[in-house]
Amino acid sequence: MNSFLLLVNRLVSASIGGLVAVIVGFASSVALIYQAVITLGGDTQLAASWLLALGLTMGVTSIGLSLYYRVPILIAWSTPGAALLLAGTQNYTLNEAIAGFMCSAILIFLCGITGWFEKLVNKIPGQLASAMLAGILLNFGIGVFDEMNAQPTLVAFMLSTYFVGRQLTPKFTMLLVLLVSIVSARLLGLTEKLDYGFTISEFTYIAPVFSLSAILGIGVPLFIVTMAAQNLPGIAVLKAHHYKAPVSSVLSVTGCVNFVAAPFGSYAINLAAITAAICMTDEVSSKPQQRYWASVAGGFFYILMAISAEYLMNIFSSLPSSLILALAGIALFATITNSFKQSLTAEEYSEASIVTVLVTSSDLSLWGVSSVLWGLMAGCLLLSIQKYGKNCVFNIKRE
């Protein structure tokens, strides 16, 4: 009897941990994904297909990798990647964007099977990668306050909830913001009539159209952001909890699965960081070797989310655009803060980091290449010039 109760308690704890991780991840960035689809010219049905593809790929890979390695490996969608799609895809068609997703997935897969990841990340200074991410997200943070022009009361409620929630319950802050924003919108009469009928989600296939512009403007930046801002922190979280991270295998699996599912909207999947940490706490299990069950449970909840994707997207389509845009920006406040902090951790990188932020957040799009890639190249160029100048001065002094 005691063994049975112990087993039930373990399963309940793991399930709660997995459910919380999925809810936090969903609430934090689903608005970004919805808005990215709309920006690319899609509709609610296409957004549901994206969420279906992402939910299934994340669920299957989380369950499979966690069970195989007996390690809490939670796979998530790329939140910075979704922000990148919002910021840098205005000049691309939906078909070209899909081609960019597939190219990014191929690069991630190659990093996995060749072990290039560590070498590649070492070539790009972490400060500049963080600066690029800060530049991508900066306008979204500013956009929250721009939306106050349209809906001051609604956005004020959302910001107040965020500020208070960050102090009282950081893990559930975005869930609180989501709930308060929906209730506030309904009370203010800003929501459209919603059909509460449940519909199972369906896949929508989008044929890729490959072009050099899409590869350089979407594929490469998405790859860099996903690796530097998602996979790298995900690996760090596993190591911080004393788990041996099967880096190459995870990259190979996620890259391959991502490539197959990309035409249906799986733009980028990667190791989770913050939500994965929820599955590694003592509340999940006092035994670290048993905590992988939380990631397995999280995988099942991802699949349930995928099945309900069309219903969830219908809810979002009934909400005012100011709520969606403000929610997306607020969800990125913490990431923007961390990105700026990390980009300025070393004085010798500070000027190059600032240039990277400024160029990335601009509307520069020379020769069809987005400002994201130009920002990274500008930062690397300035850094190279600074190092070359210092070497020349040092050699002159020696002589």
Q: Count structural domains, the chain.
A: 1
- d(CA 27, CA 221) in angstroms, rounded, equals 24
> What are the φ/ψ torsions at residue 318 (nearest 5 degrees)?
-85, -10
pLDDT for res 59: 95
Please give the Cα distance from 265 to 23 (Å, whole number): 20
Residues present in the chain in total: 399
91 found inside a domain: yes
DSSP 192: P
Q: Which domain holds residue 169?
A: 13-335
- E strands, 101-183, in order: none
What was the pLDDT predicted at 119?
A: 63
Whether residue 211 lies inside any domain: the answer is yes
3-state secondary structure 122-149: HHCCHHHHHHHHHHHHHHHHHHHHHHHH
Residue 364 is assigned to a structural domain of this protein: no
Nearest residue to 73 (alpha-carbon basis) of 305, 252, 250, 259: 250
Half-sphere exposure of 254 (CA within 13 A, CB side): 34
pLDDT-based confidence at residue 118 (cuts at 50, 70, 90): low
Q: Which residues pair with 270 in a beta bridge?
A: 76
Q: Are 371 and 365 in contact (CB under 8 A)?
A: yes
Place of tokens 């500020």: 163
| Residue 353 or 90, more confident | 353
What span, in angstroms and rounded, lies between the C-alpha atoms of 164 and 158? 10
Is 389 inside a domain boundary?
Answer: no
Does residue 25 belong to any structural domain of this protein?
yes
Q: Which two tokens stand for residue 179?
A: 């709930």
Q: Is the per-residue pLDDT at 338 higher than 80?
A: no
Q: Are 131 and 343 in contact (CB under 8 A)?
A: yes
Q: For residues 267 and 278, what is the distance between their CA atoms, to the nearest angstrom?
A: 24
Angstrom distance (rounded) from CA 373 to CA 396: 35
Residue 395 falls inside a structural domain: no
Do 92 and 218 touch, CB atoms closer than 8 A? yes
Lookup result for tokens 């936090």: 24
pLDDT of the residue at 41: 87
Question: DSSP string spanning 273-286?
Answer: SHHHHHTTSTTT-S
pLDDT at 253: 94
The residue ranges of DSSP E strands in the chain, in sequence order, are: 75-77, 269-271
Q: Is residue 186 part of a domain?
A: yes
Percent of the chain exceeding pLDDT 90 equals 21
Q: Name 271's bridge partners.
A: 75
Instruction: Work out whether the CA dihedral 110, 99, 333, 371 comes out positive or negative.
Output: positive
Neighbours of 31 (CB within 10 A): 25
Q: Which residue has the higher pLDDT, 396 or 213?
A: 213
> If you average pLDDT over each of 100-114, 122-136, 300-314, 340-354, which comes out highest?
100-114
Coil/strand/helix, residue 140: helix
CA 298 – CA 15 distance, rounded (Å): 7
Q: What count of Cα atoms within 13 Å lies in the side-chain half-sphere of residue 203?
A: 15
Lowest mean pLDDT among 184-188, 236-240, 380-384: 236-240
Rounded mean pLDDT of the chain?
81
Considering the domain boundaries, does residue 378 fall inside one?
Answer: no
Check residue 24 and give its pLDDT: 66
